Amino acid sequence: MKRRRARPSIAVRGAWAMRIIAHGFRRRQATLALGCVAFSIVTVAILVGAAFVSAGRTEPRPFSSTGGAELVAFLRDDLPSVSRDALSVALGRLPGVAGVRLLGGDEALARMRRDLGDRASVLDGVEEGFLPTTLEIALEPGGQGVERADAIAWRLRRMEGITDVDTLRTSDDERLARLQAIDRHSRKVGLALAAATGALALCLAALAMRRPRAEARLLSSLGFTAAAVAAPGAILGGICAAVGAIAGVCVSGLASRIGSAAWWLGSAPVARMTGETRWLAVGSLVVVASAGACLGWFGWRASGRVDDGREIAG
């Protein structure tokens, strides 16, 4: 077999590299599928974790608590202050009423700003006197008071100087508190779930790395250089990282919008993903994808080791 031995050209090396990489794509379909499953699990884990962390940081929905009052009577704007005081005294004498407090419009506006918290800016530009003067009426517990709130409200609406009456249910506060308690517990459960799924994903990724590692050892034993052995894994890992990053941005963006919609609908005090959380999710996905690529590269590099774990040389 006569042939001329010359320095191998870039074309020859490129041809062999393409053959190995093409084979890697063909043969590693199963590995890639396993990797995709692992990556999907990591994605879900991160999103679940981010959502629950976000939920824990979400402020409760603005709620116009009145400090324990069960009835709020809105007074007519033109009602003199003397009449307001007289009305207050008269209401305090009604059966079932535990107490009456007169609340001016300015004070009510200040309280609303306080309740709104970060969202108080929606009240910017609101004129003085925007809210009417109200009487907050606390009812006595029991059959004469809270349980007859609707009947008392009906009676108040018929009184002179009162334009409207709101009946507030303390059960709303209780429901909110209950939901927040559930939220705290579900946050812990979510984080545990995220950790468990992350561990599962790592196991699957390790499983997916077994065959490439064995193949890398074979190529190394045949005389391929470390760079030649590492190239297919690094290229595949890089592609997976890019795809993972794009997918991560799309998925977390979608989750953010779903979360925002859920919050505005008021279905639960959860799922308002802030911009910070969204970037946290995206960043985590990129880190995970990059870590996967590095893992693949080090897997290939591990080819220089023999069965008993000692390096062949160097």
Partner 1 sequence: MLRLTAVTLRHQGQTVLDAVTMEARAGELLVVEGGRAAGKTLLLEIAGARRRPDSGTVCIADHDLTALQRDSLPFVRRNVGFVESQPWFVSGMSVLDNVMLVLGARDEPVDWAREAALRALGKVGAVGLAMARTETLCSSARRLAGIARALAGSPPVLLLDDPSASLTAADTGAVLSALLGAVASGAVAVCASADGAFTSAAVRAGARRLRLEGGRLLAGPMPMSVVTGGRAFDRPSASREALP
Which residues in this chain contact partner 1 in the complex, by CB under 8 A? 1, 3, 5, 8, 12-13, 15-16, 19-20, 23, 26-27, 211, 214-215, 218-226, 228, 304, 306, 308, 310-314
As a whole number of angstroms, the distance between CA 255 and CA 271 comes to: 9
Cβ-in-10-Å burial (0-12, 13-18, 19+) of 191 comes to: middle
The distance of Cα 309 from the centroid of its chain, to the nearest Å, equals 43
C-alpha distances in Å from residue 307, one per residue of 150, 221, 304, 312: 82, 12, 10, 10
Task: Provide, rounded to whole angstroms, the least separation between the CB of residue 292 and partner 1.
Answer: 22
> Which residue, 169 or 210, has its beta carbon nearer to partner 1?
210
Contact in structure between 22 and 236 (CB atoms under 8 Å) = no
Task: Provide, rounded to whole angstroms, the least separation between the CB of residue 49 and partner 1.
Answer: 37
As a whole number of angstroms, the distance between CA 132 and CA 125 comes to: 17
> Which residue, 187 or 301, has its beta carbon nearer to partner 1?
301
CA atoms within 13 A on the CB side of 233: 31
> Which residue, 6 or 82, has its beta carbon nearer to partner 1?
6
> Which residue, 128 or 308, has its beta carbon nearer to partner 1?
308
Task: Provide, rounded to whole angstroms, the least separation between the CB of residue 33 and partner 1.
Answer: 14
As a whole number of angstroms, the distance between CA 280 and CA 53 comes to: 11
* Cβ neighbour number for residue 137 with a 10 Å cutoff: 27
- The helix/strand/coil state of 132 is coil
Task: Provide, rounded to whole angstroms, the least separation between the CB of residue 225 and partner 1.
Answer: 5
> Which residue, 95 or 314, has its beta carbon nearer to partner 1?
314
> Which residue, 214 or 239, has its beta carbon nearer to partner 1?
214
Task: Provide, rounded to whole angstroms, the least separation between the CB of residue 303 and partner 1.
Answer: 10
The distance of Cα 227 from the centroid of its chain, to the nearest Å, equals 41
| Angle separating helix axes 226-265 and 10-27, nearest 10 degrees | 50
Task: Provide, rounded to whole angstroms, the least separation between the CB of residue 306 and partner 1.
Answer: 6
Task: Provide, rounded to whole angstroms, the least separation between the CB of residue 23 and partner 1.
Answer: 6
> Which residue, 5 or 185, has its beta carbon nearer to partner 1?
5
Strands (E), 140-199: 162-167
